[in-house]
């Protein structure tokens, strides 16, 4: 059975996690979807159609966050929004194949697409159980919030790195007062109208926690889930210390469809090095089951992912050591990625080499 690494950690309290799970609804389908999501990559099982489809509602973004892969190149400057006819084509195929989860974001800020509420409404009308997106929240006006709630959005994730000036340094020109108002405003709207959805989660990079020990206490009353992402070197792939034994789960779980229809198997392939096809030319099912996709999965199983440029640029496969965060009196286990010149990294690599020689 393959070993799968992860770099995303839910740090909400256990009871809050259970409540979040139950509030997502569609419990039987959700359990089956989560079983497949967790076990299929480990067992090398490929579903007949992706479990989750990420549709890039917009490539554009109004921010220039220092840790973002977009900082590596100006290729994203032109931006672009997904055409609604293309969106409908992909969603119709997803609905016909029983997709559980549809996410409307990837490399850009989805709220820059003026038809985002229409996209949510259409996907829900086609019977997709779980429709969501990630956002920086900088454009979430009360009017847009209202439209998304009415459209039937299931959950929304806000990227909120730190508090106060720390947040504003990373997410400028958004002010902390603005994002606080957006999250609390959505909470209050749901409470007034007796709504459970959209569920609200926030996520932060791990490095911000040490500088903001009150982060969790500040946000817990207003959100349904808090998550932490291990800091990575997306802005400088040269710092990545690759783990040659890393196996990525993504090509067994999901696909990412760009604003103009290109399909890649991983969120880390910002530059589309591992393009599998385009949904304007072939069905998503044909792309998912294509020889090119099968070859990539076989390479992943054989620990040959570093044959691919997209994987060499992706920090998810970096070596790491265990780490901990202090969260409201609790100790939460996370990881810390190692850099090329990290002493612990050199030691870890030496141990890994010795293990392979002994094996």
Mean pLDDT by 10 residues, the chain (359 residues): 60 84 94 95 94 98 86 82 98 98 97 98 98 98 98 98 93 96 98 97 85 87 91 77 90 97 95 97 98 96 94 87 74 76 46 35
Pick the closest to residue 137 from 229, 207, 232, 65 (CA basis). 65
Cα distance between residue 9 and residue 203, in whole Å = 9
Q: What pLDDT does 206 receive?
A: 81
Q: What pLDDT does 345 receive?
A: 43
Cα distance between residue 186 and residue 142, in whole Å = 8
Q: What pLDDT does 239 receive?
A: 85
Q: How many residues does the chain have?
A: 359
Q: Give the residue carrying structure tokens 């099968």.
A: 294
SS3 state of residue 237: helix
Alpha helices in the chain (DSSP H): 14-23, 27-43, 84-96, 116-125, 142-151, 164-171, 176-193, 207-211, 215-219, 284-288, 291-301, 309-312, 343-358
Phi-psi label, residue 80: left if phi above 0, alpha if psi -120 to 50, beta otherwise: left
CB 73 within 8 A of CB 36: no
> How confident is the model over 210-257, as pLDDT tens digits?
778 888 889 999 999 998 888 776 767 788 899 988 899 999 999 999
DSSP states along 312-347: HT-GGGB-EEEEEEEETTEEEEEEEEPBTT-HHHHH
pTM: 0.89
């Amino acid at each position: 059975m393959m070993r799968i690494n992860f770099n995303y950690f839910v740090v909400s309290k256990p009871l809050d996690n259970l409540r979040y799970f139950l509030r997502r609804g569609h419990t039987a389908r959700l359990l089956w979807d989560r079983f497949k999501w967790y076990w299929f990559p480990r067992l090398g099982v490929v579903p007949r159609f992706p479990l989750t489809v990420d549709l890039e509602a917009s490539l554009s973004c109004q921010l220039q966050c220092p840790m973002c892969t977009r900082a590596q190149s100006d290729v994203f400057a032109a931006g672009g929004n997904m055409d609604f006819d293309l969106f409908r084509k992909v969603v119709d195929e997803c609905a016909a194949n029983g997709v559980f989860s549809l996410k409307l974001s990837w490399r850009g800020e989805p709220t820059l697409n003026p038809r985002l509420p229409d996209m949510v409404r259409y996907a829900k009308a086609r019977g997709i159980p779980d429709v969501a997106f990630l956002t920086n929240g900088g454009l979430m006006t009360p009017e847009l919030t209202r439209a998304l709630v009415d459209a039937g959005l299931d959950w929304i994730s806000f990227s909120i790195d730190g508090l106060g000036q720390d947040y504003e340094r990373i997410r400028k020109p958004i002010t902390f007062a603005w994002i606080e108002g957006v999250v609390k405003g959505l909470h209050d709207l749901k409470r007034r109208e007796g709504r459970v959805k959209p569920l609200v989660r926030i996520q932060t990079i791990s490095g911000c926690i040490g500088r903001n020990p009150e982060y969790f206490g500040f946000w817990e009353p207003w959100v349904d889930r808090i998550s932490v992402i291990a800091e990575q070197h997306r802005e400088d792939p040269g710092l990545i210390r690759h783990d040659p034994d890393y196996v990525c789960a993504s090509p067994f779980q999901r696909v990412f469809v760009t604003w103009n229809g290109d399909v890649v198997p991983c969120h880390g392939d910002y530059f589309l090095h591992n393009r599998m096809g385009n949904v304007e030319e072939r069905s998503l099912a044909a792309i998912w089951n294509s020889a090119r996709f099968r070859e990539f999965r076989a390479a992943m199983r054989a620990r040959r992912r570093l044959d691919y440029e997209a994987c060499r640029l992706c920090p998810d496969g970096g070596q790491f050591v265990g780490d901990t965060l202090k969260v409201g009196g609790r100790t939460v286990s996370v990881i810390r990625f190692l850099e090329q010149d990290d002493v612990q990294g050199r030691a870890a690599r030496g141990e890994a080499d010795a293990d392979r020689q002994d094996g």
